[in-house]
Amino acid sequence: MASHRMLAVAAGAILAATVNACSSGSATPPFGHPTSPGGQCVPLAGAKVVTDGLESFQNHATATAVIDKVALRRPKGLLLDRAWVVPTGGQLYGAAHGYPPQHYFKVVGWHWDRRMLAAGAKIPPLSTGHYRWMNILVVVRPAPGVKRGRAAGVDMWYHVGDSHYYLRFLTAIAADRVNCSGF
């Protein structure tokens, strides 16, 4: 039943996280460098929200990073409902109708039970031996009266000590009440 509504994807089998980071101090931002952009369209088909978990990152700093804010990049008709970070061994949630984890498939190494709301989340450095990756999940919904929506990606602001950073995930998100043709 949930499988026909699930649009989950395996890590590495679909879109690579695209990261564009700017910093106020170091040449190598703690959460990484750019890779390549992609896109994900999810037909809502009666669902009120869609969860997108196609992005991940690591903390390469020597100290804990704190996420200050997460927002949709250039949203048109989509609203950010909630954002979490989930420790993982490298696996991604994928994309699914509804809030996680009701439709999430069980992936060894993906730890929903240790999730944190993104804003305020403390991400330990990779060197501590904690989880190698953090999967960012954003729950989006169409704005009232809107049938189609999109966002150019997800923006994240974070800091390590007194240094502040900006991270841009460029995997676009699109949602349509019926289908994704024309996106």
Q: Tens of pLDDT along 27-55?
A: 678 887 555 556 666 666 677 888 888 88
Dist. CA 178–CA 164, nearest whole Å: 40
User: Please, are residues 18 and 36 in contact by the beta-carbon 8 Å criterion?
Assistant: yes
Dist. CA 43–CA 19, nearest whole Å: 25
Neighbouring CB atoms inside 10 A of 6's CB total 16
Higher-pLDDT residue of 41 and 122 is 122
pLDDT of residue 63: 93
User: Please, are residues 97 and 50 in contact by the beta-carbon 8 Å criterion?
Assistant: yes
Buried (b) or exposed (e) across 144-161, using 16+ Cβ within 10 A? eeeebbbbbbbbbebebe
CA neighbours closer than 13 Å in the CB half-sphere of residue 8: 19
Q: Does this model's pTM top 0.75?
A: yes
Would the CA dihedral through 111, 112, 115, 118 be positive or negative?
Answer: positive
Closest CA to 43 of 171, 139, 177: 177
Most confident of 47-51, 102-106, 145-149, 163-167: 163-167
Enumerate the domain spans of the chain.
2-176
Which pLDDT tens digit goes with each residue over 152-180? 889 999 999 999 999 888 888 877 766 66
